[in-house]
Amino acid sequence: MKYCQGPKCHTYRTKDRIRGPKGAKVYQTRRRSSFYYLGGNACSMNCERDWFNKFGEQAVNHFGRIHEPIKLTEENAWFKYRDWRNEGDRFYFANQLSEQRIPITEEQYNNPSLVRP
Ligand SMILES: [Zn+2]
């Protein structure tokens, strides 16, 4: 079990966040075995956004802000392409920059370690 990392989770007034005996009730951060937001760390889109609003800038700076464009060169721009046809599918390596297209076998198409011609 883990707690939602949303810094304002406990301020959203829903019944499932209420804990404690009568007269001493509190709203508290949600706790679940799994979450769908923030990579499994937030209970809702609101909590995900709250986290990012509070920590996003620091996180980007901490893990490495991009100061130069990242480039995808021609030699790394290959992708596999399946041409669906009634008479039998055809398989290709295609390059999204050079627009080259190289026929391959279905076996090559399905081989995950083969990523470029
Ligand atoms: Zn939350």
Specify the pLDDT at position 78. Answer: 95
Specify the pLDDT at position 86. Answer: 93
User: Ligand 1 centroid vs 22 CA: distance in angstroms?
Assistant: 23
Specify the pLDDT at position 28. Answer: 97
- Residues 31, 22: Cα–Cα separation, whole Å: 21
- Residues 105, 88: Cα–Cα separation, whole Å: 12
User: Ligand 1 centroid vs 7 CA: distance in angstroms?
Assistant: 8
Specify the pLDDT at position 16. Answer: 95
User: Ligand 1 centroid vs 66 CA: distance in angstroms?
Assistant: 29
User: Ligand 1 centroid vs 45 CA: distance in angstroms?
Assistant: 8
User: Ligand 1 centroid vs 21 CA: distance in angstroms?
Assistant: 22
Burial 50-86 (b: 16+ CB within 10 A, else e): bbeeeeeeeeeeeeeeeeeeeeeeeeeebebeeeeee
Task: Give pLDDT < 50 ranges for the chain.
Answer: none
Specify the pLDDT at position 97. Answer: 95
Specify the pLDDT at position 1. Answer: 95
